Chain A
Amino acid sequence: MNDAVRHSPGLWALAWRRLRADRVAMVALAIVALYLVSLLLSATGVIARHWDAEVGVSYAPPSFLGAETAAQRDAPRIKVPPAPPAENPRDPLGPLLKRLRAERAAGQGGIDYYGIQDPLAGDITKLRAKLRAEPDAGVAKKRATLPFGADKWGHDIVQKTIKGSETSIVVGLTAAFLATLLGTLFGAISGYYGGWVDDCFNWFYSVFTSVPYLLLILAVAAVLHQKGVLTIVLILGLTGWTGVYRLIRAEYLKHKQREYVLAADAIGASHASRMFRHIFPNVSHVALVQLSILTVAFIKSEVILSFLGFGVPVGVASWGSMLNEAQNELILGKWWQLVAATTAMAVLVTAFSVFTDALRDALDPKLK
């Protein structure tokens, strides 16, 4: 190649070269990429479009466990003592209860409809008779087992997890992006100008951080008063900028006195140019690493919010809502939804963290 036009490897090319040398980071990157691909495919409807179809029986177990037998399904979970409790001789209602029991045993009594005729009684009787004759007519055959089981409504857990990861990752990424954007902007202005501007931002920051985090989230949630993905993004983004702000501000305080910034001032570069064209590329690794750390944190926060009932609305799958359902299922011994959501989350969060760590090392200008 002609030497005169040979471009030197830029910062990103160098960082990429260093990243590629790190095998663990590349595996982590592959895992993250896999999640992103699945996110794209599910968002465009290629996969998991019919996640809310009720394809299995309620709580269908995973295929590798085999279908539940009828006996298992019908067996009462809790043994109810068959005998009524012994009578209390001092019970003032004793005689009344005794009379009612006797009536029920004789087949009388029951519900009194006060003489109103049920207008649908005829139809219902006909339908019941028809169903008795051919039980499966009109209903798709529900599968007794699914690859990783089904939830209460018979949704396929695998598809639900894929759809749920779409929500969770989108929430995590956009909220982290919003928070980093706010934090970087505030931090840059505050650190660069210093003086009373810095004081104002610092007061604002102190007020924000003095409120307990969860309370702040719940307060914003209550004010926005609307359930939805956008609301969660706003809640997390508007509360999460504080850490980024602090770090970026410190970096700007440090960098604005560096000679290259003084040199830029000396040649007449404007404030905005110095702030974002000169300094920002030199502190961008901080923002980038914060972005990925926040993404991980916000995916977890979404789970917590949904678990507390401030999360995504009913009818939208997310890891958080799955975990929220799992608390009831676990009592019934249906563990698969819990395992699916936590595994998907743990793998992504771990991979993302490992990748972030490697990225910070690769981007740090000091290590050049």
Chain B
Amino acid sequence: METKPLLAVRDLRVSFRVDRRQPGFEAVKGVSFDIPENSTVALVGESGSGKSVTSLAILGLLPPENATVLPGSRILYGGRDLVGLAQDELRELRGRDISMIFQEPMSSLNPVFTVGYQIAEVLRLHLKLSPRRAQARVLELLDEVGIPDPLAKSRAHPFQLSGGQQQRVMIAMAIACNPRLLIADEPTTALDVTIQKQILELLAALQDRHRMSVLFISHDLAVVGEIADRVVVMRSGEIREQGTTDAVFRNPQDAYTRALLQCRPPLEHRPQRLAVIDDFMGSDKPPGAPGERARGLAGNEPIILEVRGLGKSFYSRQGLFGQREFKAVQDVSFKLARGKTLGVVGESGSGKTTVGLTLMRLHQATAGVALFEGRDLLAMPNAEFKAYKRRIQIIFQNPYASLNPRFTVGQILTEPLAIHGIGANDAERGALVRELLARVELPEASYHRYPHEFSGGQRQRIAIARCLTMKPDILICDESVSALDVSVQAQVLNLLQDLQDQFGLSYIFISHDLAVVKYMSDQVMVMNQGEVVEFANSDDIYLRPQHPYTRKLLAAVPRADHRIRAA
């Protein structure tokens, strides 16, 4: 049955201009797709694919000073072309017919107004409800999006709510006027997996109940597979493939779609190497190396680091002399085997990052010992620890923040060599650095460049190279691939794996992403609220989870073949 779509995008082209003298850059190059009534369409793509620009163009929210919708583009909604529409007509439409949810709930809510006031504002503006009726409707809405005790919560300010509740409030605001189209721009990316699952279920239920359409924008194919009816795959401003979710996932036609599906580490098995985009694009050889990688400890491996009863508390002032203790990490004990990987997994606030920072002495531990070659790393004086800094290194989450923007790559990589007196002179250090650049597959010309000229994946390689300069024994990877696109993530994971194979490094691999941790780790430690809830070999955790929290986490991992609702 072929009905008229709710919204049709035809040959949409958007151009951005950085400054006056440079020619415009086309971010969206002739995109056409339909959103049928009462269905969920997902726009999937990595950063720079133009998916968010497309959604902003539909709402007419592109910044007018540097973005232009090129002539010939049409966005048809209810017999009208939204491209040429005047601003006040668009504003009338936004919020009432078409509404939007953004990625960061905390920054999309105004921190100085109560939640109830902000929802009521939408109702008063678009539906001209009286304050009393608006208030009643606010409570209804909050109840509908599953917020407990709506009356109390409607009087709360955004910071008093958790991230998941904030996103629920955003959703309540978006559906307040019963819109016919809801645009959700990465609505779950900033949330933990368990919360993500709840929000996805809520969106699916609301879509069904209100018979509205949802345009769901995401970089995560697995999430999309759970919720969408149709999928549109975008890359650098072009549509690579579109079709029903089943067709796209079961039988992808485009090489890029296949690559995206293969790049994510699978939960079920563990290939030697992850497939990367290049394996699919423009090469005929079958992707990935054959064979499975065996993981796990037998029990007789040499131990390089032993941590016993690690604890870290933060204190906040209370009153004049009082202190309030917050236990970020309590009684964490583990043994790290040489050349093996220990995965630490947990949701935000679980203390997993604090464990890494405390071992590096970037935070001062409040309890416990960390034995490295028989010496306690946590108790020795600073001067003595400096020599050990060479041996333990850390790679941070955000490659945009962990490199000093005012240093060239050469300076960044030479600095640790100079500090630790590796290499006799500058020429020798320069040669060492060039060798390392080649090892992490960066061009030699990078030496004189600044970090801002590199992409996220390349920057993370620079950060890895910086650690390698000191030839450490232990490498702590703190969410090191979480900020990267799926395809880049696979490349960096492969690189880390190669380095471990080559140098026999021991990794402490910290991540919220269970699939990545499962792929990388021999042993996995599951943390919740500062405590270790389960610690076992990687495969045991995934196949035979013992603790209920672990089971809950595993159940929440999005899988493309788990539909949240019947199609």
Q: How far is the CB of A288 from chain B (nearest CB, A)?
A: 14
Cβ-closest chain B residue relative to A368: B452
A266 within 8 A of B: yes
Q: Which residues of A contact B19 (CB under 8 A)?
A: 21
CA distance A6 to B430 in the complex (A): 16
Q: A267-B415, A268-B390 are in contact. Are A8 and B408 (CB under 8 A)?
A: yes
5 closest residue pairs by CB, A with B: A259-B402, A281-B406, A267-B416, A259-B401, A268-B389
B360 within 8 A of A: yes
Q: Is the CB of B389 within 8 A of A6?
A: no
Cβ-closest chain B residue relative to A267: B416
Q: Which residues of A contact B386 (CB under 8 A)?
A: 268
Q: Is the CB of A8 within 8 A of B362?
A: no
Q: Which residues of B contact A268 (CB under 8 A)?
A: 386, 389-390, 416, 419-420
A269 within 8 A of B: yes
Question: Number of residues in B with C-beta < 8 Å to the partner?
Answer: 36
Q: Is the CB of A266 within 8 A of B404?
A: no
Q: How far is the CB of A7 from chain B (nearest CB, A)?
A: 5
Cβ-closest chain A residue relative to B470: A267
CA distance A269 to B386 in the complex (A): 9
* Contact among B20, B389, B408, B452 with A266 in the assembled complex (CB-CB below 8 Å): B389
Extra contacts besides A8-B453, A267-B419, A368-B452 (20): CB < 8 Å? A3-B445, A5-B448, A6-B448, A8-B448, A8-B449, A10-B450, A11-B450, A21-B19, A258-B401, A260-B402, A262-B362, A262-B394, A263-B394, A264-B404, A266-B393, A267-B470, A268-B386, A268-B389, A281-B406, A282-B405
Q: Tell me how many residue pairs across A and B have CB atoms closer than 8 Å.
A: 75
Q: Which residues of A contact B403 (CB under 8 A)?
A: 260, 263
Q: Which residues of A contact B404 (CB under 8 A)?
A: 260, 264, 278, 281-282
Q: Which residues of B contact A4 (CB under 8 A)?
A: 444-445, 447
Q: Which residues of A contact B470 (CB under 8 A)?
A: 267
Q: Which residues of B contact A281 (CB under 8 A)?
A: 404, 406
Q: Which residues of B contact A267 (CB under 8 A)?
A: 389, 393, 415-416, 419-420, 466, 470
Q: Is the CB of B406 within 8 A of A11?
A: yes
Q: Is the CB of B394 within 8 A of A266?
A: yes
Q: Is the CB of B405 within 8 A of A365?
A: yes
Q: How far is the CB of A364 from chain B (nearest CB, A)?
A: 12
A265 within 8 A of B: yes
* Contact among A5, A8, A259 with B396 in the assembled complex (CB-CB below 8 Å): A259
17 contacts between A and B (CB under 8 A): A4-B444, A6-B445, A6-B448, A8-B449, A21-B21, A260-B405, A262-B357, A262-B362, A263-B396, A263-B402, A266-B360, A266-B362, A267-B466, A273-B419, A282-B404, A365-B405, A368-B405
Q: Which residues of A contact B405 (CB under 8 A)?
A: 260, 282, 365, 368
CA distance A21 to B21 in the complex (A): 10
CA distance A258 to B396 in the complex (A): 11
Q: Which residues of B contact A282 (CB under 8 A)?
A: 404-406
Q: Which residues of A contact B67 (CB under 8 A)?
A: none
Q: How far is the CB of B458 from chain A (nearest CB, A)?
A: 14
Q: Which residues of A contact B463 (CB under 8 A)?
A: 263
Q: Which residues of B contact A10 (CB under 8 A)?
A: 450
Q: Which residues of B contact A6 (CB under 8 A)?
A: 445, 448
CA distance A201 to B19 in the complex (A): 44
CA distance A265 to B357 in the complex (A): 11
Q: Which residues of A contact B20 (CB under 8 A)?
A: 21
Q: Which residues of B contact A7 (CB under 8 A)?
A: 448
Summarize B's interface: helix, strand, loop or mixed: loop
Q: How far is the CB of B111 from chain A (nearest CB, A)?
A: 19
Q: Which residues of A242-281 have CB atoms within 8 Å of chain B's CB atoms?
A: 258-260, 262-269, 273, 278, 281
Question: Number of residues in A with C-beta < 8 Å to the partner?
Answer: 26
CA distance A266 to B408 in the complex (A): 19
CA distance A264 to B394 in the complex (A): 11
Q: How far is the CB of A27 from chain B (nearest CB, A)?
A: 18
Q: Is the CB of A263 within 8 A of B420?
A: no
Q: How far is the CB of B412 from chain A (nearest CB, A)?
A: 9
Residue-wise interface mask of B (321-362) relative to A, using a CB-CB cutoff of 8 A (1 in contact, 0 not)? 000000000000000000000000000000000000100101
CA distance A281 to B407 in the complex (A): 9
Q: Is the CB of A269 within 8 A of B415?
A: yes
B32 within 8 A of A: no
Q: How far is the CB of B49 from chain A (nearest CB, A)?
A: 22
Cβ-closest chain A residue relative to B411: A277
CA distance A155 to B397 in the complex (A): 69
CA distance A262 to B357 in the complex (A): 9
Q: How far is the CB of B377 from chain A (nearest CB, A)?
A: 13
Q: Which residues of B274-316 have CB atoms within 8 Å of chain A's CB atoms?
A: none
Q: Which residues of B contact A264 (CB under 8 A)?
A: 404, 415
CA distance A262 to B361 in the complex (A): 10
Q: Which residues of B445-466 have CB atoms within 8 Å of chain A's CB atoms?
A: 445, 447-450, 452-453, 463, 466
Q: Which residues of A contact B453 (CB under 8 A)?
A: 8
CA distance A231 to B386 in the complex (A): 46
Q: A11-B406, A268-B386, A268-B419 are in contact. Are A263 and B466 (CB under 8 A)?
A: yes
Q: How far is the CB of B203 from chain A (nearest CB, A)?
A: 33
CA distance A259 to B398 in the complex (A): 8
CA distance A266 to B463 in the complex (A): 12
CA distance A112 to B355 in the complex (A): 103
Q: Which residues of B contact A21 (CB under 8 A)?
A: 19-21
Cβ-closest chain A residue relative to B434: A4
Cβ-closest chain B residue relative to A279: B404
Q: Which residues of A contact B452 (CB under 8 A)?
A: 368
Q: How far is the CB of A282 from chain B (nearest CB, A)?
A: 6
Cβ-closest chain A residue relative to B476: A266
Most central of B21, B398, B405, B463 by chain A CB within 10 Å? B405
Residue-wise interface mask of A (311-340) relative to B, using a CB-CB cutoff of 8 A (1 in contact, 0 not)? 000000000000000000000000000000
Q: Which residues of A48-82 have CB atoms within 8 Å of chain B's CB atoms?
A: none
Q: Which residues of A contact B394 (CB under 8 A)?
A: 262-263, 266
Q: How far is the CB of B384 from chain A (nearest CB, A)?
A: 12
CA distance A265 to B392 in the complex (A): 12
Q: A21-B19, A268-B420, A365-B405 are in contact. Are A262 and B415 (CB under 8 A)?
A: no
Q: How far is the CB of B403 from chain A (nearest CB, A)?
A: 6
Q: How far is the CB of B394 from chain A (nearest CB, A)?
A: 5
Q: How far is the CB of B323 from chain A (nearest CB, A)?
A: 14
Cβ-closest chain A residue relative to B452: A368
Q: Which residues of B contact A5 (CB under 8 A)?
A: 448
Cβ-closest chain A residue relative to B420: A268
CA distance A6 to B410 in the complex (A): 13
Q: Which residues of B contact A263 (CB under 8 A)?
A: 394, 396, 402-403, 463, 466
Q: Which residues of A contact B419 (CB under 8 A)?
A: 267-269, 273
Cβ-closest chain A residue relative to B469: A267
Cβ-closest chain A residue relative to B387: A268
